[in-house]
Chain A
């Protein structure tokens, strides 16, 4: 009896263990770009938390914005014989030889947040990225819905000239408002993705548009510029969030503070959780051999004042943004 019970128990626990064992034994190396922005820091924090949730042994190599460091990190991961490699590529080209080395060692590579040159398509398993055209579109569609047919002049704060994110978010927004003739962009300038420039550019927009009376909404390619623009509007005696609608992209903690104070209306999230879907794809691939799609698009979630912004702020403020 006792022996049988013991055997049974050990068999059951053994079976349980082997199910979890796949993930628990898994070692994944992550070559992170570096700490170029608050979002990047949050991505690192969230990746660590997601790995812990799944009991994965997770190694992060910080490349300090240098491709050669990323290549070194990948080589060392291959030498260590990890189960998978995550790569947030700092540039789009120059990965062929090192990714071939990983492929020859039968180590799957998952790209996070950024894609590489299409020529290298068969050198990685899948890419988990956000679609920045889609982000802009979500913002545009929100504005069309909120303007509800009324004429609405929009001023746009662009990101750095030439940055692909800026180009895409501009294009997406234009797609989003394309069907609505009442919503049109009257002014568009670059705010270099920074608070200070966002504020300065907004100050000039306000003056150029009759003290802000002709502005119905502000669209900023990132939240930081919007935080600056909100200050400019307040200093000019305007009421952002009520008189002037605001919509921006990224969902950094400070925009939720502004939303909680009723000074901002909406933000589209660029989720820092790129690693979560990547872990799931790798686990399914290793356990069941499921081939993931070549591109896993992360959700571009829209947050408004109705989404309890203070609670979101609390949950995001310690992520390292």
Chain B
């Protein structure tokens, strides 16, 4: 019969498509792609390449939010891990550099997880601690200056390419696939949703909620570490003052645009990543448009508002007539 759109995710994918078309209207060469030094080169590629750090953060963030938590520290963890990677890059081999940076991210996540799961501190407060302190730690590591490196191995993670695709995009897809396999390939995803929906009932049903809580924060820390490495590798240096600054908010926004509720429960990793690319498509579009920079934030706010309104179940009810096209069920559809 007629073409059936998936029940969930339609609004996000339509939004991404519309923004890409809008970009093409303001900048006709938007979809032009050529090969430059063995890698694909074009504005569309930029959207995915520049969106990679926030997409990585959103992969970890979506799990945390599904558990009814939040991780405000990811931007600072990016700065810490980027600083560690850049400081070690010229004196150590790539595996050592990666192990140190990812290990630091893991420790940061463990710290957050313990504060939340063991000490019972509210997630927003617990992760606020590391959000503030973490940037200071990063500044201590870099001694307040921009630490630069020349190691081509680490630079490859930011500026290199695999089969023409920029490495950050490949890393993001890899991390997404790994997370999906872990969460959706096992009962873990179900347990996360159950715990997010009702922690007490889940614990009584025999789910190790405490262990899973620590686990999701560790995963978020790991994703942030990878994002920090990518950000450092991109500019061949670690800028502790600015790396990952305010990106925790973009990551939360990506998760929310992706349809995951801040009250926990149902979540979609793929749509969170789509949400991150929606944000970046918007940023890239604004840069290409030639609008004066003073309008950047207003344009962004209007687009975000529109995307979120499109998802609102109440508003959706009013537009039920038009909504037939989208075949959105009133209950919000099932998880992806």
B144–A208 CB distance below 8 A: no
Return the chain B residue nearest A36 by Cβ. Answer: B241
Task: Choose from B144, B242, B243, B287 the contact partner of A201 (Cβ within 8 Å).
Answer: B287
A residues 180-234 in Cβ contact with B at 8 Å: 187-190, 192, 194-196, 199-201, 203-205, 207-208, 210, 224, 227-228, 231
User: How far is B234's CA from A161's CA once the two chains are assembled, in angstroms?
Assistant: 24
Q: A279-321, CB under 8 A of B: which get 1 and which 0?
A: 0000000000000000000000000000000000000000011
User: How far is B27's CA from A210's CA once the two chains are assembled, in angstroms?
Assistant: 11
B296–A190 CB distance below 8 A: yes
- B237 at interface by CB-CB < 8 Å: yes
B27–A321 CB distance below 8 A: no
A208–B146 CB distance below 8 A: no
Q: A7-27, CB under 8 A of B: which get 1 and which 0?
A: 000000000000000000000
Shortest CB-to-CB span from A236 to chain B, Å, is: 6
B239–A208 CB distance below 8 A: no
| A contacts with B: majority SS | helix
User: How far is B86's CA from A195's CA once the two chains are assembled, in angstroms?
Assistant: 15
Shortest CB-to-CB span from B35 to chain A, Å, is: 10
Contact flag A207-B242 (CB < 8 Å), given A190-B296, A199-B234, A321-B145: no
| B contacts with A: majority SS | mixed
Cβ–Cβ < 8 Å partners of A237 in chain B: 36-37
Q: B226-269, CB under 8 A of A: which get 1 and which 0?
A: 00000100111101011100000000000000000000000000
A158–B293 CB distance below 8 A: yes
Task: Choose from A41, A161, A200, A228 the contact partner of B287 (Cβ within 8 Å).
Answer: A200
Cβ–Cβ < 8 Å partners of B243 in chain A: 196
Shortest CB-to-CB span from A188 to chain B, Å, is: 7
A207–B36 CB distance below 8 A: no
User: How far is B238's CA from A195's CA once the two chains are assembled, in angstroms?
Assistant: 10
Task: Choose from A188, A224, A235 the contact partner of B293 (Cβ within 8 Å).
Answer: A188
B145–A189 CB distance below 8 A: no
- A94 at interface by CB-CB < 8 Å: no
Q: How many chain-A residues does the 8 Å CB contact rule pick out?
A: 34
Shortest CB-to-CB span from B267 to chain A, Å, is: 29
Cβ–Cβ < 8 Å partners of B43 in chain A: 204, 207
Shortest CB-to-CB span from A1 to chain B, Å, is: 61
Task: Choose from B32, B42, B50, B159 the contact partner of A200 (Cβ within 8 Å).
Answer: B50
Return the chain A residue nearest B26 by Cβ. Answer: A208
Shortest CB-to-CB span from A255 to chain B, Å, is: 12
B residues 1-53 in Cβ contact with A at 8 Å: 27, 29, 32, 36-37, 41-43, 46, 50
Return the chain B residue nearest A203 by Cβ. Answer: B46
A41–B145 CB distance below 8 A: yes
- A262 at interface by CB-CB < 8 Å: no
B145–A38 CB distance below 8 A: yes
Contact flag A199-B46 (CB < 8 Å), given A190-B293, A207-B288, A321-B145: no
Shortest CB-to-CB span from B119 to chain A, Å, is: 29
A199–B235 CB distance below 8 A: yes
Task: Choose from B27, B148, B292 the contact partner of A207 (Cβ within 8 Å).
Answer: B27
A161–B294 CB distance below 8 A: yes
Contact flag A208-B29 (CB < 8 Å), given A195-B146, A201-B287, A228-B235: yes
- B284 at interface by CB-CB < 8 Å: yes
- B290 at interface by CB-CB < 8 Å: yes
Return the chain A residue nearest B286 by Cβ. Answer: A189
Contact flag A207-B29 (CB < 8 Å), given A194-B242, A254-B146, A254-B148: yes
B242–A196 CB distance below 8 A: yes
A236–B41 CB distance below 8 A: yes
B residues 114-154 in Cβ contact with A at 8 Å: 139, 143-146, 148
Shortest CB-to-CB span from A233 to chain B, Å, is: 12
Contact flag A187-B290 (CB < 8 Å), given A199-B234, A204-B284, A236-B36: yes
Shortest CB-to-CB span from B69 to chain A, Å, is: 28
- A2 at interface by CB-CB < 8 Å: no
Between A187, A201, A208, the greatest number of chain B beta carbons within 10 A of the residue's beta carbon is seen for: A208
A residues 97-126 in Cβ contact with B at 8 Å: none
Given A200-B46, A231-B236, A237-B37: 4 more A-B contacts, CB < 8 Å: A161-B293, A203-B50, A236-B36, A254-B146
6 nearest CB pairs, A to B:
A204-B287, A190-B293, A194-B242, A195-B235, A207-B43, A35-B144
A-B contact pairs, 23 of them (CB 8 A): A38-B144, A38-B145, A158-B293, A161-B293, A190-B296, A192-B242, A194-B239, A194-B242, A195-B146, A195-B235, A196-B234, A196-B235, A196-B239, A199-B235, A200-B50, A200-B283, A204-B46, A208-B287, A208-B288, A224-B239, A231-B236, A236-B41, A254-B148
Chain A residues within 8 Å of B, Cβ to Cβ? 35-38, 41, 158, 161, 187-190, 192, 194-196, 199-201, 203-205, 207-208, 210, 224, 227-228, 231, 235-237, 254, 320-321
